[in-house]
Amino acid sequence: MTNRRRAIELTEDEQRALMAEARILQVASINADGRPHLVPMWYEVDDEGLMVFTTYGTSQKVVNLERDPRVTVLLEAGDTYDELRGVSMDARAEVVRDPQVTARTLALVGARYSGRPRPPLPAAPSPEADLPPAAFKRVTVRIHPERVRSWDHGKLG
């Protein structure tokens, strides 16, 4: 890696800050024919520090991820070249078909995008009757990073 490339990398703290600031996670899974399937998703960081999102259990991205869990995700921010910051991760996607997990993910993502405080961890699992109906139609996708690339053009000087 060149010195210039190293000089613009985000630190882990800067990566976490970008995860908190960015609004859209670009998610690229692999279609059966090998072409990328790219979609924008709302996301949050779960209670274990992984990026997560929910989607319908029958969506194309879930079909792709259950066949091949390899995924690349991208977060970016900045309006001019000298402001560009980003994190790209080659990762393994874990599809979780547990309504309890999906209810928690829905609460986390919902709070983030509505400006509400992060909901506390529940003391015990909710009875299924108390879960939102969407928790039974949707699944949670957890992103397990394997390779991270990052950049901050503001560090170019």
CATH number at residue 52: 2.30.110.10
Q: How many domains does the chain have?
A: 1
| E strand or H helix that includes residue 138 | strand 138-152
Is residue 64 assigned to a domain?
yes
What is the band of 41 on the pLDDT scale with cuts at 50, 70, 90? very high
| Tokens 């997560």, located at residue | 52
In the prediction, which pLDDT does 72 show? Answer: 98
CA–CA distance, 73 with 120 (Å, rounded to integer): 27
Q: Is 138 within a domain?
A: yes
Q: Quick check: is 125 in a domain?
A: no
Instruction: Render pLDDT for 49-70 as a digit per residue (tens, 0 to 9).
Output: 999 999 999 999 999 999 999 9
Alpha helices by DSSP H, listed for 34-95, are 60-67
| Residue 68 domain flag | yes
Show Cβ contacts of residue 115 under 8 Å, excluding neighbours closer than 6 positions: none
Burial of 59 (0-12, 13-18, 19+ CB in 10 A): middle
Query: What's the CA angle centered on 139, arms 31 and 96, to 5 degrees?
Result: 90
The answer to whether residues 71 and 92 touch, using CB atoms and an 8 Å cutoff, is yes
The pLDDT tens digits for 103-143 are: 999 999 999 999 999 999 988 888 888 899 999 999 999 99
76 is in which domain, residue-wise?
A: 3-116+131-156
What average pLDDT does range 72-95 have in this prediction? 96
Within-domain flag for 93: yes
Is 23 part of a structural domain of the chain? yes
Q: Residue 78 falls within a domain, yes or no? A: yes
Question: Which residues lie below 8 Å from residue 38, measured CB to CB, with a gap of 6+?
Answer: 26, 27, 28
Provide the pLDDT for residue 2. Answer: 64
* 137, part of any domain: yes
